[in-house]
Structure 1
Amino acid sequence: MNNKTLSILSYVTIIGWIIAFVKSKDLTPKSDLVRYHLKQGFGIFLVSLVINVALSIIVTIVPALYFLSYIGYVILILWIFGIINAANEQKKPIPLVGQVFEDKFSFID
């Protein structure tokens, strides 16, 4: 797989991220683009996991706050931004949360 494909794959579910992570270890030389999008993809996955668990608990306790579940659409839009950046081979952070993950997740390097 080439760098562009691995970058896009890093956003497609956690299974796609794992495949991209394993395949990126085989690349010679290491691709900064793939590493960057692996970090962004893993970060947005963690954000979506935490928000979905928190919202599930909140909506279970206070059903009147069901409208908060629309936050999931915001996460979907952020994920799409990441895929578009990967498809254009740009090292651009995901809006709102992407800059937080640029220097995190040292296990990816």
Structure 2
Amino acid sequence: MEDGKLWAILSYIFPLWLVPLWVLKPRNDYAVFHARQALGLTILAIIVLFVAGFLTWIPIVGWFVVQAIRLAFLVLWIFGIIHAATDKREVLPVVGHEIEKILKNI
């Protein structure tokens, strides 16, 4: 497995996205692309799940909503890992284009 592909896959494991962003940036654009996607997804998950945590105060329904949000983030992480493992440079569904716009300079 080539080094860039390995780091692209590993970048979806927090905080390993730091390595491609700071060490491999000049040499491997593929790994950096997936590191940006992983970083954006991590930041988004932290923010959304923090806010969604307040929904747990709503009996029963709030808990189910939070679990659905967690499942959605898990699916996005799996998509990212699959794209990295199959040499696809595709943005994550729903949020990937916005992540690229916001983090394009990283």
Question: Structures share a fold, TM > 0.5?
Answer: yes
For residue 44 of structure 1, the aligned residue among 41, 65, 80 is 41
- Structure richer in helix, relative to its length: 1
**Contact 1:33-1:90 at 8 Å conserved across structures:** no
Aligned residue pairs total: 103
Q: Which residue of 1 aligns with 2:59?
A: 63
Structure-2-length-normalised TM-score: 0.84
**1:1-56, CA deviations, whole angstroms, 9 ceiling, x for partnerless residues?**
7100111111111x21223333314xxx5222112111111111011111110111
Q: Which runs of 4+ in 1 moved over 6 A?
A: none
Q: CA RMSD in A?
A: 1.8
Structure-1-length-normalised TM-score: 0.82
Q: Which residue of 1 aligns with 2:24?
A: 24
For residue 88 of structure 1, the aligned residue among 63, 86, 93 is 86
Q: Residue 89 of structure 2: SS of its match in structure 1?
A: coil
Percent identity over the alignment is 29
The alpha-carbon distance between structure 1 residues 93 and 74, as it changes in their structure 2 partners (threshold 3 A), is same
**Contact 1:10-1:18 at 8 Å conserved across structures:** yes
Supply the distance in 1 between the matched residues of 2:19 and 2:4 (Cα, whole angstroms): 13
Q: Which amino acid aligns with 2:39?
A: F
